[in-house]
Amino acid sequence: MEHEEYAPRSGSSEDFDQIAGAREEDHTVPVNASASSSSAYLSTNLSNPGLERSGSSHSDQLSLQQQAQRPGLAEQRRFSSGISGNGAMSGGDGGGYSGSIHDGKDEAVPVGFDEGVLRALCDMDGSLSLLADRIKQSIASCKQVAVFFRSRAEIEEKYARSLQELYRTTGDVYSRADCKAGTFVSAYHSGLRLQSQVAENKLRFAQRLNEMSDELLGLAREGERLRKMHKENGMRYQGILQESEMVMDKAKSRFDSTAEELERVLVAKEGESMKDSGMRSSPSSSSTNTSGSGNPSGSGGGKRGLGKAMKGGLLFKGKGAGAMAKQEDDVRSRMAQASETFRKAVLESQALRQEYFNFQQPKILRLLKECADELDMGTQYHLTRFAFMFESSMVAEASIMSPMNEEGSGLKGLYENIDNRTDFKQYMQNYAVARGSSRGPRRDGPYEEGFLPRMPPHAERGSTDGGVPVSSQASQITSNGGNPSTEGYPASGLPAASGATFGVDLGEQLARDGTEVPKVVEKCAAAIEAYGLDSVGIYRLSGTTSRVQALKAALDKDVGSVDIMSDLWSADINVVSGALKLWFRELPEPLLTYALYHQFIDAARYENDRLRHIRLHEQVNELPDPNYATLKFFMGHLDKIRKQGTVNQMSASNLSIVFGPTLLGAPPHEGGLNLEHMSFQCKAIETILEKYAEIFVEEDDGVPASS
């Protein structure tokens, strides 16, 4: 018999049965059969987990079903460890698994549950530890977020209760102290009540944070419980599989030792001498046996066989033929029993391995992945909920402090409605009654001839000022029929006759130069469009102050002779943009005029984009011709910059922040800088820039005038 019969092909149980039967019938066992039988079998079946995971052929499955019907070591281990024959985990607290790889109905990897990731985990070594460690990280992150929520809730609660105590004690102290009454005390107490409402809102926010913290801690505890349960189940299955492999290794060792003993008995029985055994084991005379043994070391196998033969000959020396035959039968019987035990151990190990890798491992990994996903999504949900609640709390506090649709309400409205003049008058009226009048020095002196009583102060100022009645002067100011944009705001710029470019009234400058758009705007815009459209932060970044002032001086001296395109000025394009911004800032009146300032602000207040666009379009049409033409040209220039926003990072919003307060400045009597209106100034310029085509494109030919 050839030695290759001891190596089953493709892990087939039928071949293994044939080999075992042949071993029992054939009494001529080749030398070194034990080394080939176990190593070849393990190399083809047991050392290839990928083959076991991918599933066996139909014939192999039928063989496994037949073997599973017979009680063996695997069944005994299942019952002893709490695993039933169908692969279900017995006992526990409801965390066991049920199902079998033999029913043909359950899917190993259900479709629809992140199938790609789950299959990758199934094909990955150490996936159980990977998921367990990942869940451990998720639990730690969940706990940290819960601790943050709890700490934030404590801070918010402490702050809110401190505010409530402050408002209560402050109100009581004010009531007992000698403080002002009237509209002041009413507004003061109303303001305290509003701030107390803010404190109550913070208390509600802190309560919700505590609830979210408790929910996250509960989620973390549940994650720890599931992680422990699923990991223990996975380790239990792995332990059972390792135990079956240990049993298989022990059976293999017993089979190998019995095969070696049979070899010694056969050598001793045949009466081979040391020389004959060595010659048959040499590579030159025993090539067939050497190749059949699968021993790559060549003559090394013959030497080992020779040693075994010598040892066997010495052990059995002096025994008779009957004793040798009886010894051979006994060894052959034990070898057949060891072969059958080894075959069953291999099949049981294969069955457990297929059951683990094809069904139990994917199911355990699925449960662990679901646990990790639940922790991750739960933590993310609570963080998102925290952001929403925090934003809602801030909006609620802002609506308490300053309601949007109620004029004069809110904390600022309450304090602005304090009428100190009325309070003082009321105090004067009640002072004498409340405190009693005390007589002071005598106001009227003794009567003498020619003595005239002193006139009241308002009568001493007289009714004229320089011969012109004061009321006449006021009427002249209010009835001045000049430019509607400068009505009530006299221009303080330089005269156009000076030839300057900066600080000169826009209308006078255009009339002097005979152009529709200021030359400085045209020159600077052309240079920026030529060299600065791709410059990151154009208009947001400022050039060197000394260079900007030098360019300003050159333009003031002779705007027509300055070549801004030259390297002298365009080398740093931020110098050109800085000079253009400076020209707009130094206009005696902003480009959108003082007279239309409040109309533009009111139009920018509309939340509806379409309505805001229409109202701003109406106000743009009300601009004087010089202002309209300049705005039209400049908005066309900014529109080109905005279209390159992906490169220069200057969107319409960024440009409006730069030019909002400059093009739409507050009137002088409001201080020239109104922080309350700054957002509406930027919003107005942003809307005009975004709707440039709808506002400024000429309807007759459809071509923008600025292009």
CA dist list (Å): 696 to 288, 602, 614, 681: 100, 21, 13, 19
Residue with the bigger pLDDT between 489 and 508: it is 508
Give the tokens for residue 352.
């457990």
How far is 308 from 329, CA to CA, in rounded Å? 19
* Mean pLDDT, residues 483-511: 70
Report the range out of 46-60, 80-94, 486-500 with the highest average pLDDT: 486-500
Helices in 586-663 by DSSP H: which ranges? 597-604, 609-621, 625-643, 645-648, 652-663
**Poorest-confidence range of 102-106, 527-531, 547-551?**
102-106
For 19-74, write each residue's pLDDT tens digit: 334 334 433 333 333 333 333 333 333 333 333 333 333 334 434 344 334 334 34
Q: What is the pLDDT of residue 126?
A: 85
* Residue closest to 595 by CA, chosen among 482, 444, 460: 482
Task: Tell whether the model's pLDDT for residue 700 goes beyond 60.
Answer: no
Asked if 587 and 485 touch (Cβ cutoff 8 Å), the reply is no
Q: Residue 184: is its pLDDT beyond 50? A: yes
CA distance 154 to 93: 37
Start-end ranges of CATH 1.20.1270.60 in the chain?
A: 116-272+324-432
Strand partners of residue 468: 465
Q: Which ranges in 402-505 belong to alpha helices (H)?
A: 410-416, 420-435, 457-460, 470-478
**Maximum mean pLDDT: which of 95-109, 272-286, 399-413:** 399-413
Task: Name the 3-class secondary structure at 705.
Answer: coil
For 493-508, what is the mean pLDDT?
Answer: 82
- The C-alpha atoms of residue 40 and residue 309 are separated, in whole angstroms, by 24
| Single-letter amino acid code for the residue at 140 | A
Percent of the chain with pLDDT over 70: 65
Provide CATH code, domain 506-696.
1.10.555.10
Using alpha carbons only, give the angle 597, 540, 491 rounded to the nearest 5 degrees: 35
Tokens 């920026």 belong to 528
Query: Which helix (H) or strand (E) element contains residue 14?
Result: helix 13-25
Higher-pLDDT residue of 75 and 581 is 581
3-class DSSP state for residue 45? helix
Surface-to-core class of residue 130, CB atoms within 10 Å of its CB (0-12 exposed, 13-18 middle, 19+ buried) = middle
**Architecture, CATH, for domain 116-272+324-432:** Up-down Bundle (1.20)
In the chain, which residues fall in CATH 1.10.555.10? 506-696
What stretch of H or E contains 469?
strand 468-469
Q: How far is CA 141 from CA 149, 220, 374, 518, 699, in A?
A: 12, 9, 13, 62, 61
Put residue 665 in one of left, alpha, beta given phi > 0 → left and psi -120 to 50 → alpha. beta
| Residue 464, H or E segment | strand 464-465
Q: What are the phi and psi torsion angles at 680 (to 5°)? A: -75, -30
Residue 527 CA to residue 568 CA, distance in Å, equals 12
Summarised one tens digit per residue, pLDDT across range 617-668 is 999 999 999 999 999 999 999 999 999 999 999 999 999 999 998 999 888 8
Q: Which two tokens stand for residue 551?
A: 């360019």
Quote the distance between the C-alpha of residue 271 and its chain's center: 83
Q: What is the mean pLDDT of residues 352-380?
A: 89
Residues 6+ apart with CB under 8 A from 15: 8, 9
Q: Name the helix (H) or strand (E) containing 584.
A: helix 573-585
Token duo for residue 628: 């309209």
For residue 704, list its beta bridge partners. 697
For the purposes of burial, counting CB atoms within 10 Å of the CB of 275, is it exposed (0-12), middle (13-18) or buried (19 or more)? exposed
- Tokens 């033409």 — which residue? 629
| Mean pLDDT calculated for residue range 69-93 | 38
Say yes or no to pLDDT of 517 above 90: yes
Report the 10 Å Cβ neighbour count for 51: 15
Flag whether pLDDT at 602 surpasses 90.
yes
Query: Long-range contact list for 430-439, CB < 8 A, 24+ apart?
Result: none
